[in-house]
Copies of this chain bind each other. A is one copy, B any other.
Amino acid sequence: MKKIINDPKRVVDESVAGFAAAHADLVRVEYDPIFVVRADAPVAGKVGLVSGGGSGHEPLHAGYVGYGMLDAAVPGAVFTSPTPDPILAATKAVDGGAGVLHIVKNYTGDVLNFETAADLAAAEGIEVRAVVTNDDVAVKDSLYTAGRRGVAGTVLVEKIAGAAAQRGDSLDEVAAVAERVNANARSMGLALTPCIVPHAGEPSFTLAEDEIEIGIGIHGEPGRERIKLEPADRLVDRLLDPILDDLPFGSGDRVLLFVNGMGGTPQLELYLAYRRAAEALGERGIEIARSLVGNYITALEMQGMSITLLKLDDEMIQLWDAPVQTAALRWGR
């Protein structure tokens, strides 16, 4: 295992400390229990947005704390949901009197720990709502399973709901727009290489030089299918087709096209993939109204990418375009 780390047990603490030092203008960090919070929190009268989950997906979530997006991020150990204590502490720290929205990726651990924290916060008189993101079409959904994973769509939910909160929407309104974004977002990912969790020290799976995993999540877990490496355009189609069929997306739709890197794939390749995705959408008469390309939700050093489509409406576009000032997403101020 080759990593720029000291003690594997201190990876998250030390990295968060570096993040806080580099972005002292945007955030501060509480250490016991650990969470990252907007420098000016709580913002009086504003709905507070809290997200969190296992570490290793950077810039998610701490990179999205700031004006117009999250009020706090709660980092767990690598790929491990945080416990209720820091979620509760973060919830209290961002409560400006208008209630708090939890944005939770759909994993059993995240859901259960956020649930407990929400119960505890409610017991202390804070109004909490939760939105559970589940945009991953690689997972077959059913009443009898854990359901779909929350993946890259979560970034879009955080930006758009964050803008709604920033303009003064109520908790119900912010939760509603977050739900709407999640309901209109679909993602799918692939991996060329596995990643190595620091405390595990070994890759999550092994792949031959010509093999890739299709339908992966963001935790270094194997995907649904192992196939031979194919040209980029074909790989893009393999991700895009199930996404398009699922919502479904069709001619005349306006979308946000989001090509996300898993952490170890260079931008050169992400933009090359974007080219084909844009072409394929064009062929179907789907209009790309907004784009996002880069490493926005990752699985440590994994090489691979995911594609997300979000079907936009006017309000979503307006909220997407609204100013945001975070370490990882910034425009308009």
> Could you tell me which A residues sit within 8 Å of B by CB distance?
2-7, 11-12, 14-19, 21-23, 55-56, 58-59, 63, 78, 192-193, 209-210, 212, 229, 231-233, 235, 257, 263-276, 278, 288, 291, 293, 295, 298, 300-301, 303, 305, 325, 330-333
Contact = CB atoms under 8 A, between A and B. Distances in A.
A165 to B, nearest CB: 21
Contacts of A232: 3-6, 14
Given A232-B4, A264-B264, A301-B266, A22 B274 contact: yes
A265 B18 contact: no
Nearest to A190: B4
A4 B274 contact: no
A301 B271 contact: no
B264 A15 contact: no
A4 B267 contact: no
Nearest to A300: B266
A303 B4 CA distance: 9
Nearest to A2: B192
B233 A18 contact: no
Chain A binding surface, main DSSP class: mixed
Given A4-B235, A6-B232, A22-B274, A58 B267 contact: yes
A272 B58 contact: no
A264 B19 contact: no
A272 B5 contact: yes
Chain A to chain B: the 10 pairs with minimum beta-carbon distance, closest first: A18-B275, A18-B271, A58-B267, A18-B274, A4-B269, A15-B272, A264-B264, A22-B291, A2-B192, A6-B231
A12 B268 CA distance: 8
8 contacts: A4-B192, A6-B232, A7-B231, A12-B268, A15-B271, A56-B266, A78-B268, A267-B295
A232 B272 CA distance: 33
A58 B300 contact: no
A11 B268 contact: yes
Contact of A264 (B274, B275, B276, B301): B301
A249 to B, nearest CB: 18
A268 B22 contact: no
B333 A18 contact: no
A269 B15 contact: yes
Contacts of A303: 2, 264, 301
Contacts of A266: 56, 58, 263-264, 298, 300-301
B300 A19 contact: no
A217 to B, nearest CB: 16
Given A56-B266, A235-B4, A301-B265, A274 B21 contact: yes
A11 B272 contact: yes
B22 A271 contact: yes
A16 B267 CA distance: 10
A6 B330 contact: no
A56 B268 CA distance: 7
Contact of A4 (B21, B257, B272, B295): B272
